[in-house]
């Protein structure tokens, strides 16, 4: 079980949204680099970063923050938000991300996303599938695509898709626990794909439950900022693992 702390960015600052609503934004005072270093000190290896400005602007907006994180830590950084063109994915990877998370483009331009899987390798390109009422939401969760996640995944298996981050928007930021049934069903159906659970992690008990269910990785966001999961909790878990 891999624990992946999340940092969401607006104007270079750490924020958290509730159910993807930009109007329900809470700004935290921690500097993103300080947060990243504190996670690395606990033994975390992988960091999930979302450029919320980029998601709205349809192009990465916080690459200066990415460059700081990549140059001053050894973390494996997965970066999402606004990656909709060949120029943008190249810019994100050149700025220091090891993995690019692509959501809207995988719905709107499937041929291009399939090309990226082959050009950059499946180890470096992640399908970001954000789900609302069983359908994929795009453009910073503002648009309902009408596409089911199964249809999306199956379309990219021939191109070698191996990584999917799936977020249940109804659970995101609510601190009420994840939709475990969704992730278990997906992992069992597509065994060749590594699914990361995102949305709803509220406690270490949720993480233990995810491990019991055979899930491989979880993203932790608001629970850390709100003190539901502490850095000591994370450190102890990793030491016991």
Q: Which of 56, 45, 3 is nearest to 216 (CA)?
A: 3
- pLDDT tops 90 at residue 96: yes
CATH of 2-240, one of 3.30.1330.10, 1.10.1040.10, 3.20.20.70, 3.30.70.80: 3.20.20.70
The residues that bridge with 78 in the sheet, in sequence order, are 48, 99
Tell me the C-alpha distance between 44 and 207, whole Å.
15
Tell me the C-alpha distance between 208 and 212, whole Å.
6
Question: For the chain, which residues make up each domain, given as ranges?
Answer: 2-240
Cα-based distances in Å from 37 to 8, 80, 145, 228, 237? 15, 20, 37, 20, 18
- pLDDT tops 90 at residue 24: no
- The tens digit of pLDDT for each residue in 128-180 reads 999 988 899 887 666 788 999 999 999 999 999 999 999 998 887 777 899 99
Mean pLDDT of the chain: 93
69-73 average pLDDT score:
98
8 assigned to active site: yes
Cα-based distances in Å from 131 to 39, 109, 170? 27, 18, 8
Of 53, 130, 168, 172, which residue is the catalytic one?
130
204-224 average pLDDT score:
96
Identify the pLDDT of residue 172.
74
pLDDT bucket at 40, cuts 50 / 70 / 90: very high
pLDDT bucket at 198, cuts 50 / 70 / 90: very high
Q: Which residues of 59-70 are buried (b: 16+ CB within 10 A; e: fewer)?
A: bbbbbebbebbb
- pLDDT tops 80 at residue 199: yes
Identify the pLDDT of residue 140.
63
Of 8, 51, 53, 168, which residue is the catalytic one?
8
CB 238 within 8 A of CB 220: no
Identify the pLDDT of residue 141.
67
31 assigned to active site: no
Identify the pLDDT of residue 106.
95
pLDDT bucket at 93, cuts 50 / 70 / 90: very high
The pTM is what? 0.94
């Amino acid at each position: 079980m891999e624990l992946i702390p999340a940092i969401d960015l607006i104007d270079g600052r750490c924020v958290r949204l509730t159910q993807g609503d930009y109007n329900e934004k809470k700004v935290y005072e921690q500097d993103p680099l300080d947060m990243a270093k504190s996670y690395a000190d606990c033994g975390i290896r992988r960091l999930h970063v979302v450029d919320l400005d980029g998601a709205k602007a349809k192009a990465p907006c916080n690459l200066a923050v990415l460059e700081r994180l990549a140059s001053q830590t050894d973390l494996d950084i997965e970066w999402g938000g606004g990656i909709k063109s060949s120029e943008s994915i190249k810019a994100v990877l050149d700025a220091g991300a090891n993995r690019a998370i692509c959501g809207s483009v995988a719905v709107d331009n499937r041929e291009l996303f399939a090309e990226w899987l082959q050009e950059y390798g499946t180890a470096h390109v992640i399908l970001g599938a954000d789900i609302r009422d069983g359908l994929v939401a795009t453009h910073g969760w503002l648009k309902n695509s009408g596409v089911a996640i199964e249809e999306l995944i199956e379309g990219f298996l021939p191109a070698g898709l191996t990584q999917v981050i799936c977020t249940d928007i109804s659970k995101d930021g609510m601190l009420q626990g994840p939709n475990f049934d969704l992730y278990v069903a997906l992992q069992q159906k597509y065994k060749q794909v590594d699914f990361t659970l995102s949305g709803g992690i509220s406690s270490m008990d949720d993480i233990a439950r995810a491990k019991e269910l055979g899930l491989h990785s979880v993203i932790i966001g608001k629970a850390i900022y709100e003190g539901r999961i502490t850095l000591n909790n994370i450190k102890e878990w990793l030491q016991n693992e």
